[in-house]
Amino acid sequence: MTSRDLIVEQINHRDTDPIPVTISLESALAARIDEYYGSPEWRHRICNDIVVVWPLDASKYEQVDDKHHKDAFGNLWRTDLLPRHLEEPALSSPTLEGYDWPASETFFDQDRYAHAEHVCATHRDKFIAANIGWGLFERTWTLRGFTNVLMDAIAEPDFYEELLDRIVDMQLDFIAKSATLDIDGIMFSDDWGDQRGVILGPERWRRLIKPRIARLYDAVHERGLYTLSHCCGNVADIIPDLIEVGLDVLESVQPEAMDPYEVKRRFGKHITFWGGLGSQSTLAFGKPAAIRAEIKRLSVEMSRGGGYILAPAKALMNGMPLENAIAAIDAFYEVRIGKAESTC
């Protein structure tokens, strides 16, 4: 089976051997491992059955000074420290009156699209997803500021829904343009949860977000493509809703926020989970033996009956112990090569 075959089989809830995996590293960590081994030869052990392309730039940052960038929406960001920080949202009050909404075409450029085309053409054995950037909830808070947008959702519902609808229209354009590539799916990204639960609350999320992502997912499925979405935090309460509106793959499955084995037991027949290895816990603070054991458990229990893609909840981060990173890479490789001793 090709990588694409493995992913499609898992999405359709059929067992595969091996199971598909993805793993990524922050560049500084990869450089540390190069130094440890004395060469980059170890990188052939990095297995990724999903390749994500970025045919658009969903922010279009332009440098203002040595500490700040402004995006195409007019938001001012502090960028000299990580993570970047929103300093001044474009909408200072809950109204779109007088605001010059950027055209969808602003976020596409020929070079970026041509690179995505090249990746698609040269990786046809992989499952390829096109990422369309910031999601509905995330884009609203970048335009209004996080505190403001939480108040808007309660105190200014008409404005908030108008704002969401403008973003939906733009994302429908993003989907249409991205779908002209030779891809298998559209990758969404929207952090609806923190580690306590759904930030807007499940009922408000159902009223404001759910019908709008249903439109987006329908647009993807109408083109014969799969829907994938990154989401951090505890979103167990709304997984049935995500299944209802047609999400095929939920990515991150952050174990510090929700138990991957529990959500697999409850919902695993109806949705594919991608992730589940703790970046804040197991990878950061576990011992190599514990990391290998958890990867083995995930690969066995989460993949039972299909519907699973093995991955860390986040990229392997530079601050983690080097021995932990090496243990994770080796264990992922051992899972992926499977009985057939295939390459990845």
107-156 tens-digit pLDDT: 999 999 999 999 999 999 999 999 999 999 999 999 999 999 999 999 99
Alpha-carbon torsion angle 307, 310, 311, 312, nearest 10: 100
Q: Nearest Cα to 247, choosing from 223, 230, 264, 265?
A: 230
In the chain, what are the domains?
Answer: 3-60+106-337 (3.20.20.210)
Alpha-carbon torsion angle 118, 59, 314, 131, nearest 10: -40
Sheet with 85-88, strands from edge to edge, namely: 62-63, 68-70, 76-78, 85-88
Sheet with 185-189, strands from edge to edge, namely: 50-53, 127-134, 185-189, 226-231, 249-252, 272-277, 308-312
Whether pTM exceeds 0.85: yes
- pLDDT confidence of residue 61: 94
Each residue's pLDDT tens digit, 34-77? 999 999 999 999 999 999 999 999 989 999 999 999 999 999 99
Strands 127-134 and 85-88 come out as: unpaired
Q: Nearest Cα to 264, choosing from 221, 206, 308, 300?
A: 308
